[in-house]
Amino acid sequence: MREEHRIKQQVLHAQTDQNAADELIRQYLPFIKAQTAKFIKRIPLEGHDEELSVAMFAFYEAMLSYQRGRGAFLKLASVSIRNRLIDYARKEQRHTGTVSLDTPVSDGENSRTLLDETESASHEIEERYERLAARNEIQEFALQLSAFGLSLSDVADSCPKQERTLHTCMLALAYAKENPALLEQMVANRKLPLAQLSMGAGLERKTLERHRKYLVAILLAYTNGFEIIRGHLRQIKRKEGPQA
């Protein structure tokens, strides 16, 4: 079951089951914190920052209002959280007044403004969450590879050394993407569909067999939400073969 489909099913179930709703909020608390951090330009603290409570309620609202066919749930939740936080910030400003972003926060020749500090903190938070997302994605990818009896080092060792061979592997990937049933078959059977890839893409089976480990990895990257890994593959394919 693909990641986005799994999330949609969880959300729809949570609409009629409060325990499932509470569990979904706990499961996606890192996501809610990340969305809050983007808005307040720092990592929110549970029990301290009211913005986090606002964001959690917005996530819950998005969960209850979500309907089939409305697209990716997390995108909807992200918009809902941002809108709620904007409303909250406006109410707070009416009560406390507005602080100018040009207010200096240091003395001397290297004086910086509140805006400078805010932008710097924002970049630091984004980089931190990008590193965390990459680490989590690689760990999940390694876990799913293990179901095929493979490790990340196995994949690294089996990467094609010749451009022609890499091009062949990318052609196999392109064919598999056009025929998603092959990807589903591979995940279900824990086995690379070599015969179908060879015949369908018009490629030599022996070449595909020699690079089975690498092919399993690149095809697996397109069966789940491995956006970072797929981004790396797209960079490779700008030079080698059809676009991913």
Query: So where are the chain's domains?
Result: 3-97, 152-237
Pick among 2.60.200.30, 3.40.50.2000, 2.170.190.11, 1.10.1740.10: CATH of 3-97: 1.10.1740.10
Span 86-110, average pLDDT: 60
Residues 33/52, Cβ–Cβ less than 8 Å: yes
Span 170-190, average pLDDT: 88
Q: Which residue type is seen at 111? A: S
Examine the pLDDT at 99 and tell me if it is beyond 60: no
Give Cα 23 to chain centroid, integer Å. Answer: 20
Residues 219/192, Cβ–Cβ less than 8 Å: yes
pLDDT at residue 202, rounded to an integer = 92
Span 210-237, average pLDDT: 76
Distance CA 73, CA 76 (A): 5
Give Cβ neighbours of residue 60 (< 8 Å, ≥ 6 apart). Answer: 21, 25
* Number of neighbours of residue 238 by Cβ within 10 angstroms: 9
Size of the chain, expressed as the number of residues it contains: 244
